[in-house]
């Protein structure tokens, strides 16, 4: 099985421009491919995970990755998947974020001896002359066609700024630049980037008369169709100072039963034969699968030692958390106001706090966690569906555990 077939079997490939050509390139180690990362924060997060794992897989198959840091496009901001305009960052913020990205990427990608490159599109985008771009690039873009792109359609109702309208052109120019100067023949990206990627292959064809290819990666969605990688307190980061290895482990340990096997297939490096055997797992076996997923991904991001520590801590928590011996609180319909219950009410109902003021004190002092994730916002709320199945493990202090379920 070639790497292309493995990517297919893992459910990672969404759309391709030319399947036979891409298959020939990646299966024979002939691809020099790039994935872009806009430095909108000082850490990569779970949303970048698919791309990083893909780069690692393809590099191990003999292909050469280029990690393109969007130091230039970061000045504009990608409108894809957004209903509002991104805040503008200073050059200093962008550079700092770029430096942080490289350090984190090195866990996935081998940059030694020219095996991979990291380039910054600020090197060419910031020196472009506006009139030259209009004359050299502008004629190759149809505004009518651009406005049919999904990333722009979502924004048209609220208003799309001319600044963001240029993002597609800048991304297309990146591929054009990388094709000419770095021998890059393939672009990868999330499925929501398809229009921007096609713009790049089209610009190369029109300007140079040559073929370049693009392939999108399946977006990591849960069974409800929502993007994974978010929690009550925000994004799940790869930087241990922003999301601890334990919290990172717990995020994956708590994925839904319907999502765990898909995540193992798409994100881990376990052999497919081993994963295929798990397809029949159910009940308690799915908890074992969640442990495997959490351990493998924590090891990948934070190293084996941190993964072991996180697993031991989680097991210590959940050893007291077996349904048989953990005190359980049932929430009734009347406990929910307008379909929500806040963390203070949960603590009072479960008997872990004597009053809302006692609960507020525990939360603000950092002594409360839900499913291993610390809760520090007293306004945090939950819906009845959050307590379905095995419910949630609420911990106050070091040893006060309750399983909270919906009746």
Residue 287 sits in the same domain as residue 212 = no
Counted domains in the chain: 3
Q: Which residue has the tokens 């036979």?
A: 20
CA dihedral 6, 8, 12, 14 (to 10 degrees): 150
- The 10s digit of each residue's pLDDT in 347-370 is 999 888 889 999 999 999 998 988
Q: How far apart are CA 202 and CA 204, in angstroms?
A: 5
> Are residues 192 and 209 located together in one domain of the fold?
yes
Contact 22, 215 (CB under 8 A): yes
Do 194 and 45 share a domain, yes or no?
yes
Q: Which of 162, 185, 217 is the last residue of a domain?
A: 217
Q: Examine the domain organization and report whether 315 and 336 are in the same domain.
A: no
171 is in an annotated binding site: yes
Q: For the chain (length 407 residues), average pLDDT per consecutive 10?
A: 96 96 97 92 87 94 95 64 56 84 89 92 90 91 85 76 85 96 95 91 96 94 80 76 86 90 96 95 91 96 93 74 62 91 93 90 91 88 86 81 83
Pairing of strands 341-342, 381-382: antiparallel
Looking at the fold, whether 262 and 289 belong to one and the same domain comes out as yes
Task: Give the domain CATH number at 369.
Answer: 3.10.290.10
What CATH number is associated with residue 69?
Answer: 3.40.50.620
- Could you tell me the pTM of the whole model? 0.75
Query: Do 245 and 380 sit in the same domain of this protein?
Result: no
Do 274 and 374 fall into the same domain?
Answer: no
3-state SS of 59-96 is: HHCCCEEEEEECCCHHHCCCCCCCCCCCCCCCHHHHHH
- Annotated ligand binding at 152? The verdict is no
For 15, the enclosing helix (H) or strand (E) is strand 13-16
- Strand ranges, E, within 73-232: 117-120, 186-190, 213-217, 230-231
Residue 398 and residue 278: Cα distance in Å, rounded? 34
Same domain, 121 and 252: no
Residue 157 CB partners (closer than 8 Å, separation 6+): none
Confirm if 22 and 4 have CB atoms less than 8 A apart. Answer: yes
Residues 54 and 129 in one domain: yes
Is 230 annotated to bind a ligand? Reply is yes
Please check whether residues 119 and 173 belong to one and the same domain.
yes
Range of the domain at 339: 324-407
> Does residue 205 share a domain with residue 87?
yes
Task: Note whether 82 and 198 are same-domain residues.
Answer: yes
Does the annotation list 130 as a binding residue?
no
């Amino acid at each position: 099985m070639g790497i292309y077939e493995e990517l297919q079997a893992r459910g990672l490939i969404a759309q391709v421009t030319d399947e036979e050509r891409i298959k020939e390139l990646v299966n024979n180690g002939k691809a020099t491919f790039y994935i872009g990362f806009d430095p909108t924060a000082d850490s990569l997060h779970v949303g970048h995970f698919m791309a990083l794992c893909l780069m690692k897989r393809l590099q191990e198959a003999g292909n050469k990755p280029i990690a393109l840091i969007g130091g230039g496009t970061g000045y504009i901001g990608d409108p894809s998947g957004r209903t509002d305009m991104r805040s503008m960052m200073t050059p200093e913020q962008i550079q700092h974020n770029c430096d942080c990205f490289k350090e984190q990427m090195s866990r996935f990608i081998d940059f030694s001896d020219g095996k991979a490159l990291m380039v910054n599109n600020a090197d060419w985008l910031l020196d472009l002359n506006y009139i030259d771009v209009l004359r050299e690039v502008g004629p190759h873009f149809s505004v009518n066609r651009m406005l049919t792109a999904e990333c722009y359609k979502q924004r048209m109702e609220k208003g799309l700024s001319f600044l963001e309208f240029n993002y597609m052109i800048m991304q297309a120019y990146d591929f054009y630049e990388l094709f000419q100067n770095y021998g890059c023949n393939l672009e990868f990206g999330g499925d929501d980037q398809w229009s921007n990627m096609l713009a790049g292959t089209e610009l190369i064809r029109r300007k140079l008369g040559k073929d370049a290819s693009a392939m999108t990666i399946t977006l990591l969605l849960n069974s409800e169709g929502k993007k994974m990688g978010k929690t009550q307190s925000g994004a799940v980061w790869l930087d241990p100072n922003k999301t601890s290895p334990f919290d990172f482990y717990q995020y994956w340990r708590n994925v839904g039963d319907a999502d765990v096997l898909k995540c193992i297939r798409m994100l881990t490096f376990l052999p497919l034969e081993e994963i295929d055997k798990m397809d029949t797992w159910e009940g308690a076996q799915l908890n074992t699968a969640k442990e495997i997923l959490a351990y493998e991904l924590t090891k990948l991001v934070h190293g084996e030692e941190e993964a072991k520590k996180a697993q031991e801590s989680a097991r210590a928590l959940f050893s007291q958390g077996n349904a048989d011996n953990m005190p359980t609180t049932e929430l009734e319909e009347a406990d929910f106001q307008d379909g929500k219950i806040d963390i203070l009410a949960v603590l009072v109902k479960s008997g872990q706090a004597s009053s809302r003021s006692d609960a507020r004190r525990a939360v603000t002092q950092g002594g409360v966690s839900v499913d291993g994730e610390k809760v520090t916002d007293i306004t945090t709320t939950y819906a009845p569906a959050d307590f379905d199945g095995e419910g949630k493990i609420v911990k106050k202090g070091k040893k006060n555990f309750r399983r909270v379920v919906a009746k």
